Structure 1
Amino acid sequence: MKTRQLGHHGPRVSSIGLGCMGMSDFYTTGVDGREAVATLHRALELGVTLFDTADMYGPHTNEELLGRALRGKRDGIYLASKFGLVRSSDPHARGVNGRPEYVRQAIDGSLKRLETDYLDLYYQHRIDPEVPVEETIGAMAELVKAGKVRHIGISEASAQTIQRAHAVHPLAAVQSEYSLWSRDPEHNGVLDTCRRLGIAFVAYSPLGRGFLTGALKSAQDFAADDYRRSNPRFEADNFNRNLALVERVKALAAAKGLSASQLALGWVLAQGEHIIPIPGTKQRHYLESNVAAIGVELSLGELAQLDEIFIGEGAVAGDRYHAQTMSLLDG
C-alpha cells in the first residue's frame, strides 16, 4: 500500500481511504450489514488505514457500525469523523451547528459510538455562518489538548476560511468534493491553499456518487429511497447528458485495460501528492477495484484527454446538490 501524509505534521495514511457513509445511509436503506462489515475487514487486509465517517450519517448508525466492525482492530487505523451538520425529519433539510458547546457535546457522542478513546482526525463538517470559525476551531483545539482528538480538519470551506482556521490551530486536512466532474477546488483557491499551507486535501465522492463508475445506465435505476433521485446531476435530462461524458471515460479506460472507476481515481491521485481520495463502497469487489487504482499511471496526454471531456462551459449538467444543500457550502 502506498501512503500519503496527512498534513505537514500528521501521520502517513493509505493513498486511498474508505468513505463509509453509503454503508448506512443515503443510497438505499437496503444495506447488507454483513457485507459492509466484510468490506471494512477486507479494507484492513488490503492496507487501507484511513476510514471516514460522520455523526450525521444515519444519523449515528454509521459510527456505530464502524465501532462494532473495528472492535479490537484500532491499532494502525486512522479514524476520521465529523460534526456540525444536524439532521431533521425532512430528508433534505440540514442545520449547521458550530457552537463551542456543541463541539464538546458532539465529540463525546462520536467517541462512544465508535468505541474509542480518541479520533485521529475530527472535521467541522460544514461552516456555521452564525459562529466565527475561530471559535469553532478553538473548541476543537481544546479537544486536541484533552487527548480526545489527534488532528483536526474542516470540510467544504472556502480558501479564506481555511486560512482563518489554520491560523488558530494547524489543520491536517481539508475535505471537499473533488473528481473529474466536480472541479470547484481547482478554481476557488482551495487546492492551492492546501498545497501552500501543507494541508492534506481529502477528496470525497471521487467517483461522482457512482456516476463515474460507468455502471449506471438510467435515472430510474435507483431505489425509491436513494437520495440521488433528487440530485440535479442524476435527474433525467441531466443524467443522459452526463452519461455521454462517462461513455468517453469508459472508452479511454478500456484502452488501458482499466475500469472507468480506476481511471477516474487515477486522475484524482495524479493531481497532487497532498490529495487523498476516499471513494465510498459497501461491497468488497468494488473496494478491491478501487484500491488497485493506486497503481494507475497516466501520461500527460491521457490527463489532458480526461480534462478535455469535463472542462468547458456546460460540460457537466446540473449542480452538485439541490439548492438547500448548496446553500450550506462555504463561499
Structure 2
Amino acid sequence: MNSEFRTLGDGGPAVFPIALGSEALVHGDGIRVIHEAIERGVNLIDTGDFYGAGGDELLIGKALEGRRDRVKLSVKTGALRSPDGAFIGLDARPAAMKNFITYSLKRLGVDHIDIYRPARLDPAVPIEDTVGAVADLVKAGYVRYIGLSEMGADTIRRAHQVHPIVDLQIEYSLFNRRPEQNLFPVLSEAGIGVTAYGVLAHGLLSGKAKPSDKSGPRAHLPWFHAENFEKNMKLVNALAAVAQEKGCSPAQLAIAWALSKWKDLVPVVGARTVAQLQDTLMALQVKLGADDVVRIEATVPPEQIAGTRYLPMLMKMLDSERP
C-alpha cells in the first residue's frame, strides 16, 4: 500500500495520503470508523464546527480519548445555521473566529486545533482581518496552522501575506477540474497544499448514485438532476470499464487519479462504516502511470459533463469560482 506521508504546503504538517472527512460519521458507525482509520495510519480528520450543529465535533472528541497524539484535526468555521439546520449566512469577523474556536476546543476535548480555517469567504470581512485573528490564535497556542476553504486566487495571495497558509480545501474531482486552471498554479507558486473534498463528485463517481428529486439531499447538485444524470452516468459507466481493467472500483480509481495529480494533494473522503473505510484505503494500492491518467481524463471529458457542481445561486457565493 502506498501510504507515504505527504506534506501540506511548505512547512506544514506531514499527513497520511488520505484524510478522513467527518460529515458521514454521525450517520454511521463513527467511533469505530475513526478508531480503524487511526490504526491504519490515517492521521488527519477534517470537520466543521457547524456539522451536525457541533455533533460531529462531540463524536470526534469522544473517539479521540486516549488517541489525541496520533491525530491532527482540521476544523472549518464561520458558517451559520438555524436550529432547523438551514444555512443562514457567514461570520468570519475576528471576534467570531475567536469565539467559535472556544466552543470547538470544548466539544473536541483538546487544547489546540492543528489546522483552523474559515469555511467560506465572508464578503463583509476582509480576509486579512479573518486570517489575522487566526494568527493571534496561533501565537496563543490554540492553533498550529492556518488553512483556507473555497477561496479564490486573489484572496489566497492576500491571506498568505498575513500569515503562511498550509492548505486550501477545495472541491476537486474528475467532474470538477477547474482548480487546475484557476487555483493550483497559485498554490504551487506560494507553497500551499491541497485537501481535496468531493473527489467522488458527491457519490456520482461511486457508480451507485441515483438521480435527485426536488426535495432530496442532492437537489442543489445539478449533476444529479434528471436532465443531466443520464448523460453523466454514461461517463461514469465508461470510467467503470477502465476501473475494471485496473482491477479496482470506480471510486478507488477516482481517488487514485486525484492522488496522482499533485504530490501536495490529500483527498478528504468520508465513510459511514469500517468496510467503506477499508474500501477507500484500497485506492492507495492502485498504480497509475502517465498514460493511465491521460486515458482516465479522456474518458470523462469536461465538455461532456452535464451541469455545474452547484446551483447558480450557490456558485455565486463561492470565491473560488470567481474569474
Structure 1, residues 85-123: CA drift from partner, whole Å, max 9, x if none?
112357553411111010100111111111100001111
1:148/1:115 CA distance change after superposition, 3 Å:
same
Aligned residue runs from structure 1 range 190-269, under 5 A: 190-216=183-209, 218-219=210-211, 227-269=217-259
1:175 and 2:169 aligned: yes
- Please list, as runs of the form range in 1=range in 2, the aligned pairs for 1:31-70 lying within 5 A after superposition: 31-32=27-28, 35-70=29-64
Instruction: Please report the TM-score for the alignment, with normalisation by the length of structure 2.
Output: 0.94
The one-letter amino acid paired with 1:4 is R
Which of the numbers 308, 315, 327 marks the counterpart of 2:316? Answer: 327
Letter in 2 for 1:88: S
8 A Cα contact 2:243 2:249, kept in partner = yes
- Describe the shift of the 1:16–1:226 C-alpha distance in structure 2 as closer, same or farther (beyond 3 A): farther
Other-structure match for 1:159 = 153
Distance in 2 between residues matched to 1:225 and 1:109, nearest whole Å:
32
CA distance in 2, matches of 1:253, 1:159: 34
SS at match of 2:70: coil
Identity of aligned residues (%): 40
Kept in 2: contact 1:205–1:280 (CA 8 A): no
1:18 aligns with 2:8: no
1:226 shift after superposition: 5.1
Q: Aligned residue for 1:303?
A: 293
TM-score by length of 1: 0.92
Q: Secondary structure at the match of 1:298?
A: coil
In the alignment, what sits opposite 1:275? 265
Tell me how far 1:312 sits from its aligned partner. 3.6
Partner of 2:307: 318
Q: 1:8 aligns with which of 10, 23, 28?
A: 10
Give the aligned residue type for 2:23.
Answer: M
- The gaps in structure 2 that reach 5 residues or longer are none
Q: Deviations over 1:43-87 (max 9, x none)?
A: 011110010000111121111111111112101201110111112
Distance 1:226 1:109 in 2: 31
CA contact (8 A) 1:20 1:282 kept: no
Distance in 1, Cα, partners of 2:219 & 2:204:
12
CA distance in 1, matches of 2:113, 2:266: 18
Question: CA contact under 8 A between 2:97 and 2:134: conserved in structure 1?
Answer: yes
Q: Which residue of 2 aligns with 1:27?
A: none
**How big is the alpha-carbon RMSD for the aligned residues of Structure 1 and Structure 2?**
1.7
Deviation at 1:230, TM superposition (A): 3.5
Does residue 130 of structure 2 align to residue 130 of structure 1?
Answer: no
> What are the Cα deviations for residues 215-242 of structure 1, in whole angstroms up to 9, with x where unaligned?
22x326x8x9852144211122211111
Q: Is the 8 A contact 1:2 1:294 kept in 2?
A: no
Conservation of the 8 A alpha-carbon contact between 2:173 and 2:198: yes
Aligned residue in 2 for 1:289:
279
Amino acid at match of 2:25: M
Matched, 1:144 2:138: yes
- Structure 1, unaligned runs of 5 or more: 25-30
* 1:157-205 Cα distance to aligned partner (Å, 9 max, x none): 01111010000000011100001111121121x1111111111111011
Q: Is the 8 A contact 1:212 1:260 kept in 2?
A: yes
Runs of 4+ deviating beyond 4 Å:
89-92
Which range moves more in the overlay, 230-239 or 175-184? Answer: 230-239
Q: Which region of structure 1 is more displaced relative to structure 2, 228-237 or 75-84?
A: 228-237
**Given that residues 94 and 325 in structure 1 are in contact (C-alpha distance below 8 angstroms), is that contact kept between their aligned partners in structure 2?**
no
CA contact (8 A) 2:175 2:302 kept: no
Give how far 1:152 is off.
0.6
Partner AA of 1:15 in structure 2: P
Residues 312 and 234 of structure 1, relative CA distance in 2, 3 Å threshold: closer
8 Å contact kept, 2:222–2:308: yes
- Tell me if 1:114 matches 2:104: no
